[in-house]
């Protein structure tokens, strides 16, 4: 029996657009944003930030080496956060409804810069905060592990106290879905045609 729902963030709850960030960073003078910034995984300073290996300040300093002109902190932050396009109201309301039937958790590859500047405020738009929607949160930068590595799923299992066999995981990356299944989680691939709401209506009794 499914008792827990475990959600990825970007591409599942939060709409994302990699090319918006790539274009904004290139416009700001970055030479190679498309090589370091991926849809499902990052490289270089972007990856180090999401793994919790460097701070936001260190990230900006390291990233400046990739620009062809001087760039201030706010320009970097604003361009980077163009990756995030917002959470539709209907998804927040769906989480609210699901929370009445299941325990709800978040498992995300993300970073402190986006988390503080954009993600946490986005969850407040309907008058609540992120803890209203989730019973627990696992972020890559805090646990210093990164999907699809087994360590981040083990961290979710241990820190959240969830049983994989009782947990349905949603992600927009096939590699992450397969990693979760290998560890005993139920898992569903989210696509634009099959969002998490569609999956739930098909997989779980109403």
Count Cβ atoms below 10 Å from residue 65 Cβ, excluding itself. Answer: 9
Q: How far apart are CA 36 and CA 183, in angstroms?
A: 29
Provide the CATH number for the domain formed by 16-83 in this structure.
1.10.150.240
Q: Average pLDDT over the chain, rounded to whole? A: 93
Q: How far apart are CA 60 and CA 63, in angstroms?
A: 5
Those residues with Cβ within 8 angstroms of residue 65's Cβ, 6 or more apart along the chain or in another chain: none
Q: Is 133:104 a contact under the CB 8 Å cutoff?
A: yes
Q: How far apart are CA 188 and CA 46, in angstroms?
A: 26
Residue ranges of domains in the chain: 4-15+88-203, 16-83
Position 98 pLDDT exceeds 60: yes
Question: What pLDDT does residue 89 have?
Answer: 96
First to last CA, the chain: 13
Question: What pLDDT does residue 40 have?
Answer: 61
Q: Which pair of tokens denotes residue 18?
A: 């990699």
Q: Give the confidence band of 70 by pLDDT, cuts at 50, 70, 90.
A: very high
Residue of 192 and 157 predicted with greater confidence: 157
Q: How far apart are CA 143 and CA 147, in angstroms?
A: 11
Closest CA to 59 of 71, 36, 76: 76
Residue range 4-15+88-203 forms a domain whose CATH class is: alpha beta
Helices and strands, counts by H and E, the chain: 13, 7
Q: Is the fold of 4-15+88-203 the same as that of 16-83? A: no
Calculate mean pLDDT across residues 150-170: 97
Render pLDDT for 32-49 as a digit per residue (tens, 0 to 9): 898 887 666 678 999 999
Position 122 pLDDT exceeds 60: yes
List, by residue number, the catalytic residues.
Answer: 8
Q: Which pair of tokens denotes residue 176?
A: 């992450």
């Amino acid at each position: 029996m499914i008792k827990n729902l475990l959600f990825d963030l970007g591409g599942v709850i939060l709409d994302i657009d990699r090319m918006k960030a790539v274009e904004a960073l290139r416009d700001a003078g970055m030479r190679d944003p498309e090589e370091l910034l991926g849809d499902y995984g990052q490289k270089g300073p972007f990856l180090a930030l999401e793994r919790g290996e460097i701070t936001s300040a260190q990230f900006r300093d390291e990233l400046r080496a990739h620009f062809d002109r001087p760039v201030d902190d706010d320009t970097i932050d604003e361009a980077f956060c163009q990756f995030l396009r917002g959470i539709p109201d209907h998804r927040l309301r769906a989480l609210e409804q699901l929370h009445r039937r299941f325990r709800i958790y978040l498992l995300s590859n993300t970073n402190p810069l986006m988390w503080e500047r954009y993600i946490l405020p986005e969850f407040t738009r309907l008058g609540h905060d992120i803890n209203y929607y989730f019973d627990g949160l696992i972020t890559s930068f805090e646990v210093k592990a990164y999907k699809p590595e087994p360590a981040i799923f083990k961290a979710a299992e241990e820190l959240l106290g969830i049983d994989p066999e009782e947990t349905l995981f949603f992600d927009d990356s096939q590699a992450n879905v397969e990693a979760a299944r290998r560890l005993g989680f139920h898992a569903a691939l989210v696509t634009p045609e099959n969002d998490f709401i569609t999956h739930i209506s098909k997989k779980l009794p109403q």
